[in-house]
Amino acid sequence: NRGQVNYAAAKAGLEGAVRSLAREVGGRGITVNAVAPGVIASPATAAVMSAEQIAALVPAKRAGQPEEVADLVAFLASGQAGYINGQTIGINGGMV
């Protein structure tokens, strides 16, 4: 979006750091991943966006729920995700 150069640069830097650190520590069985949430339901989101605005912006036509993000984080922290490393995973209802 316009006026968000600083946000985009910071996000790109974080993605690079995740990839680099994953390579650095992956041989020790440590995984490094980032979670990149989109619009998530919260009092702060409700204060600045209506349900109609969210539906127009997000292909899934709704805000994500905090529990959905928590479930992703719990999975990444589990042994089931042991081969997922160096990734930035968007949980955003289809926003790109």
On whether the CB atoms of residues 90 and 33 are closer than 8 A, the answer is no
On whether the CB atoms of residues 60 and 93 are closer than 8 A, the answer is yes
Structure tokens at 81: 């995700």
- Could you confirm whether 83 is annotated as catalytic? no
> Per the residue annotation, which of 4, 7, 51, 53 is the catalytic one?
7
CB atoms within 10 A of CB 34: 17
Q: Which residues contact 36 (CB under 8 A, 6 or more apart)?
A: 11, 88, 89, 90, 91, 92
State the catalytic residues: 7
